[in-house]
Amino acid sequence: MRFDMTRIEAAAGEVLRLTLAHRGTGSKEAMGHNWVLLRAGVDATAYANAAVRARATEYLPPDRAGDVIAATRLLGGGGRDSIVFTVPADLPAGTELVYLCTFPAHLQLGMRGVLVVK
What pLDDT does 89 receive? 98
Does the pTM of the predicted model rise above 0.85? yes
- What does DSSP assign to residue 103? S
pLDDT value at 43 more than 90: yes
Domains and CATH numbers, the chain: 7-117 (2.60.40.420)
Residues 6 or more apart in contact with residue 1 via CB below 8 angstroms: 106, 109, 110, 111
Confidence of residue 1 (pLDDT cuts 50, 70, 90): confident
CA 76-79-83 angle, 5° bins: 115
